[in-house]
């Protein structure tokens, strides 16, 4: 039997106790170290967060809005997209005296200069025009929709299209054609559709009706094709929906980092999937128009001599190699002129009628002007013609005399320009008149919507709808500088169809106002939609009622 030595036992117990204490001490030290490490990490993280917040606030004081590490100003833009991006841009520009630098996320393509300073616009659009083309970024972004058309092209491609279109736009034959087609569309389609809504006691989406009108008109003028979009019952036209979806998806690219939307395009998801599907409808329509015209021209030798539409003119031209333009190029021409002729006038008229509903005194002055001008006709039967329910047709010279109506439309365009923003790119290092440094490759966005909301440009009443600001002491319409009122662009890219656009809008507006009261449906939401042109997001739902003969007689006698 082994008997344990008491000394040995004591020593063993002591060693075990010491090991236990050491192990527990080591474990505690390890836990304490881990705890302090987490505390230090938290402190560093908190300090970093505070630093980021302070830096962001400093940037906000300098830039007008916070600039976050990595994300830049993207969070502010994301919030603005959920409300009204154009008002957000206007607020920032007012706080920054008309120009600010937008900083996008790191390694993104969203960095740009945003300006609403008339001095900068004149420099950009006229003085140094060659140094500020649309640029590769813009062309790459809109290429799928607009291709090499006049809206997105630069240099030789743009100059050739503009020169050809300019010659056609200023020909007497083309002007007569546009005047006749507009008169036919208004009296044979627009007014019957409006009358039908009255008979049915139904509200109508005036924006949709006007879009159909201008779509039919631009197709007849530019392509010699009548799509019959504006008819009783408002039949579904797949192209119209496809075109609107395509413009919306294209604008999405401008507020999304290039790497993101290109990845979405590669995987065919989100807005890029929508764009791809809508472009199918756009391309099918353009292809059908082109092929139909080719067949007509080949079957009738004298067709080229009798037709006066833009598509036929371009089909007769040759490119730099002496060959006929490709179907792809003709497709781009079609889509660009549809964008120019369909959306701009109809969208402007929609905002115009919405503003009239809010300012009945302006509508009364317009009606008084219309009756006064038509009352000057020399025919013996003029009174009967004036008060006829639908027979009155305004003459071109009468439309031109409607100065107050033009002022009211211009004021609507000042507040709600059809194209709210536009884009340029810097070719060589430069400097704006306001002192802003411009590096080669910098993107410049000029905010046309914001320009109508700048006190420095329009005075303290800049938010008021006030047509009188466009009239001289003699009551005649006075145009503003294209670099202060940029609804029709300016410089070499000044809108070719500006005069016709005014004529079209005045003719349509006068024809409606003379016959009907237009009342926006109560509580109908009216906000701009994010697109290449400023659609109303929910359309413009209105109720129409006919004017009484007695009311017209009062204005006629007055």
Question: pLDDT for 255-288, tens place per residue?
Answer: 888 999 999 999 999 999 999 999 999 999 999 9
Q: Which residues contact 79 (CB under 8 A, 6 or more apart)?
A: none
- State the distance between the two ends of the chain, measured CA to CA, in whole angstroms: 138
Which pLDDT does position 301 carry in this prediction? 56
Whether 74 and 104 have beta carbons less than 8 Å apart is answered as yes
**Biggest alpha carbon–alpha carbon distance for the chain:** 148
Which pLDDT does position 337 carry in this prediction? 87
Residue 485 to residue 492: CA distance in whole angstroms: 15
Which pLDDT does position 342 carry in this prediction? 84
Which pLDDT does position 470 carry in this prediction? 98
Residue 513 CA from chain centroid, whole number: 26
Give me the percent of the chain exceeding a pLDDT of 90.
58
Which pLDDT does position 24 carry in this prediction? 52
Which pLDDT does position 558 carry in this prediction? 62
Which pLDDT does position 75 carry in this prediction? 83
Query: Which string of DSSP letters, residue by residue, matches 260-311?
Result: HHHHHHHHT-HHHHHHHHHHHHHHHHHHHHHHHHHHHHHH-TTHHHH---HH
CATH class of segment(s) 96-556: mainly alpha
Positions of the chain with pLDDT under 50: 1-14, 17-21, 23, 33, 35-62, 303-304, 380-389
Q: Is 371 annotated as a binding residue?
A: no
């Amino acid at each position: 039997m082994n008997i344990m030595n008491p000394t040995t036992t004591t020593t063993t117990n002591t060693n075990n106790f010491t090991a236990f204490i050491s192990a527990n001490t080591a474990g505690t030290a390890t836990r304490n170290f881990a705890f302090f490490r987490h505390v230090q990490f938290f402190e560093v993280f908190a300090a970093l967060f505070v630093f980021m917040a302070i830096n962001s606030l400093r940037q906000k004081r300098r830039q007008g809005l916070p600039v976050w590490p990595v994300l830049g100003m993207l969070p502010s833009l994301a919030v603005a997209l959920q409300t009204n991006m154009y008002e957000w841009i206007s607020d920032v520009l007012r706080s920054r005296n008309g120009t600010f630098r937008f900083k996008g996320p790191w390694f993104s393509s969203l960095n740009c200069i945003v300006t609403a300073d008339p001095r900068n616009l004149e420099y950009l659009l006229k003085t140094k025009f060659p140094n500020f083309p649309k640029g590769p970024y813009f062309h790459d972004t809109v290429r799928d929709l607009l291709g090499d058309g006049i809206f997105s092209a630069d240099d030789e491609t743009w100059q050739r299209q503009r020169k050809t279109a300019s010659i056609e736009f200023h020909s007497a034959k083309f002007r007569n054609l546009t005047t006749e087609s507009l008169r036919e569309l208004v009296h044979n389609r627009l007014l019957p559709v409006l009358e039908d809504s009255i008979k049915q006691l139904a509200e109508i989406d005036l924006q949709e009706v006007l879009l159909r009108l201008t779509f039919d008109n631009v197709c007849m003028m530019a392509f010699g094709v009548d799509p019959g979009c504006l008819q009783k019952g408002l039949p579904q036209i797949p192209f119209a929906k496809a075109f609107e979806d395509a413009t919306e998806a294209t604008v999405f690219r401008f507020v999304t980092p290039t790497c993101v939307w290109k990845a979405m395009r590669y995987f065919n998801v989100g807005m890029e999937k929508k764009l791809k599907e809508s472009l199918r409808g756009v391309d099918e329509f353009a292809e059908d128009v082109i092929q139909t015209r080719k067949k007509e021209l080949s079957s009738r030798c004298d067709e080229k001599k009798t037709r006066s539409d833009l598509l036929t003119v371009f089909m007769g031209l040759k490119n730099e190699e002496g060959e006929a333009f490709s179907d792809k190029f003709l497709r781009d021409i079609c889509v660009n002129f549809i964008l120019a002729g369909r959306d701009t006038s109809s969208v402007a008229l929609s905002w115009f009628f919405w503003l009239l509903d809010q300012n009945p005194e302006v509508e009364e002055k317009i009606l008084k002007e219309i009756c006064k001008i038509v009352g000057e006709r020399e025919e013996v039967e003029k009174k009967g013609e004036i008060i006829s329910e639908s027979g009155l047709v305004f003459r071109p010279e009468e439309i031109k005399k409607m100065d107050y109506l033009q002022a009211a439309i211009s004021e609507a365009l000042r507040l709600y320009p059809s194209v709210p923003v536009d884009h340029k790119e810097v070719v060589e290092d430069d400097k704006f008149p306001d002192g802003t440094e411009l590096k080669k490759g910098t993107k410049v966005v000029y905010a046309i919507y914001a320009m109508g909301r700048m006190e420095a440009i329009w005075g303290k009443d800049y938010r008021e709808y006030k047509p009188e600001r466009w009239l001289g002491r003699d009551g005649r319409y006075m145009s503003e500088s294209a670099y202060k009122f940029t609804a029709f662009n300016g410089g070499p890219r000044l809108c070719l169809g500006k005069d016709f656009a005014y004529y079209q809008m005045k003719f349509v507006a006068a024809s409606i106002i003379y016959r009907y009261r237009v009342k926006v449906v109560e509580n109908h939401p009216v906000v701009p939609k994010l697109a290449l042109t400023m659609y109303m997001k929910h359309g413009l739902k209105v109720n129409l009622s006919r004017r009484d003969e007695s009311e017209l007689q009062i204005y006629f006698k007055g």
